[in-house]
Amino acid sequence: MPRPSVDLPVSVDREAATALAVQLGDRLRDAMRGGALSSGERLPSTRALARQLAVSRTVVTEAYQQLYAEGWLEGRHGSGTYVADVAGTVVPAGRPATVPVPAGGPWDGYGHRDGQGMIDLRPGRPWVHDYDRAAWRRAWRAAADLAPASDPDLRGLPRLRAALAEHLRRSRAIPVGPENVMVTRGTGNGLDLVAATLLRPGDRAGVEEPGYRVARNVFAGRGAEVVPCPVDEDGVVVDGLPGDLRVLYTTPAHQYPLGGRLPIPRRERLLAWARRTGAIVVEDDYDAEFRYDVAPLPALHGLDPGRVVLLGSLSKALTPDVGVGWLVARPDLVEAVAVTRDALADRTSGPAQQAVATLLEKGDLDRHLRRTRLEYARRRAAVVDVLGSRVMGDTAGLHVMVELPEDAVAPLVEAARARGVLLDSTTRHYHGPPLRHGLVIGYGSASRAELRRGISVVAELIG
């Protein structure tokens, strides 16, 4: 039984210069922050609240949409909108948090628990169902046969560092050896270790705008000032990058979320900028394994190993559940990050590393990548077939972008949700006000049949 909705102690001021949806969003956020609305409470329907406030339903829908995107609200299919299970907002001591970081709870990064029974077309999830069960079992059995280490190397298992270096040389043509590789628990962990090593409170840290909110959260959490750096269809715009950034986070293989691939001349200009200003470039290579009908471009790290820290992960290539990724840097930086890791008592699970090493050494990961590459190529073709020339950023990765008029997006996301399809918009990927509007459609996690159904709903709603 759905619980009754709460009476909301909010009002809006029609005379104010601030848009009504923004005002309403602010009031609701304040109520959640202050405890007037607590987690699990049900909000009124958009229709009821619109009536209470004498505003249009679009105003309420937009405010709810923004709060969903920020992680304050969650939807339960068929039963309404609830205050999400946010234990608090992390505010680094003495300085304001620039981005809300929900702490704790079963978050999926969108403010929703996994949408049971929904077709999930949000980005960020791979297809995890077609893995080779025998290979997976063999890898974990081999890991279980080994005695646990009492004093593990914080840089990672030598065996896995060697296997990863070989994998990166072969699959990404990055000329690295084990001394360049640290095994992390994934990109987020790698980012945090880099931030804790390189950033001091008040340092300026560039993040693509729009860009990966985890990078913004991590940098802000370490006390840095997050500096949004514009991107266009090709990726980060180099001309105009500030000269005082300590680090710049970028996704050159497939800009997240717009989907550009940074052309080689711009890669070179970016590295010249980094050399000139002394900045370290953090290259997130999160979905570089997946590329369609286009030639590979050299990783930034390979072009200038001294200036670039590359972060990779099995989260897209296999599953986020395994909790293994890598950080690639010049050896002295790897050592500096290991010192940070020691100070933070941070480590990657040894048995997980052993299992991943077996998957790499036996060629199981390569086989998995060959299979999933085909699967994703088919899905991407299915999306492009239906949505046609509206699709951007489809040459790589597991998501595409569809640009739409600003006022069309929130109602479309809402209408799709009502029909059982979860969509993501560009809004939450911005640090500042969104400049480009549209959908970011992930084709990783839904089955092919669900994807076809979901995309036809999107096409119908776009009209």
Ligand X SMILES: Cc1ncc(COP(=O)(O)O)c(C=O)c1O
Residues that bind ligand X (CB under 6 A): 124, 186-188, 212, 251, 256, 284, 286, 313, 315, 320, 325
Compute the distance between CA of residue 421 and CA of residue 117 in angstroms, rounded to an integer: 9
Minimum distance from residue 54 beta carbon to ligand X (Å): 40
Compute the distance between CA of residue 57 and CA of residue 55 in angstroms, rounded to an integer: 6
Of 62 and 284, the one with the shorter C-beta distance to ligand X is: 284
Minimum distance from residue 290 beta carbon to ligand X (Å): 12
Minimum distance from residue 436 beta carbon to ligand X (Å): 17
Compute the distance between CA of residue 136 and CA of residue 39 in angstroms, rounded to an integer: 38
Of 50 and 101, the one with the shorter C-beta distance to ligand X is: 101
Minimum distance from residue 99 beta carbon to ligand X (Å): 15
Minimum distance from residue 398 beta carbon to ligand X (Å): 9
Of 65 and 184, the one with the shorter C-beta distance to ligand X is: 184
- Tokens of residue 298, six digits: 């050299």
Minimum distance from residue 400 beta carbon to ligand X (Å): 14
Of 392 and 462, the one with the shorter C-beta distance to ligand X is: 392
- Dihedrals phi, psi of 134, to nearest 5 degrees: -65, -40
Minimum distance from residue 378 beta carbon to ligand X (Å): 21
Contact 189, 346 (CB under 8 A): yes
Of 25 and 444, the one with the shorter C-beta distance to ligand X is: 444
Q: Which residues have CB under 8 Å from 111's CB, separation 6+?
A: 67, 68, 69, 70, 71, 72, 73, 74, 84, 102
Do strands 204-209 and 225-232 pair parallel, antiparallel, or not at all (unpaired)?
parallel
- Residue (of 440, 423, 396) closest to 257 by Cα position: 440
Of 186 and 454, the one with the shorter C-beta distance to ligand X is: 186
Minimum distance from residue 357 beta carbon to ligand X (Å): 18
Q: How far apart are the two ends of the chain, measured CA to CA in Å?
A: 35
Minimum distance from residue 111 beta carbon to ligand X (Å): 15
- Tokens of residue 293, six digits: 């009908």
Compute the distance between CA of residue 165 and CA of residue 180 in angstroms, rounded to an integer: 8
Contact 42, 6 (CB under 8 A): yes
Of 136 and 286, the one with the shorter C-beta distance to ligand X is: 286
Compute the distance between CA of residue 157 and CA of residue 177 in angstroms, rounded to an integer: 14
Of 71 and 124, the one with the shorter C-beta distance to ligand X is: 124
| Region of 75 on the Ramachandran plot (φ > 0 left; ψ -120 to 50 alpha; else beta) | beta
Q: How many CB atoms lie within 10 A of CB 344?
A: 12
SS3 442: strand
Of 402 and 457, the one with the shorter C-beta distance to ligand X is: 402
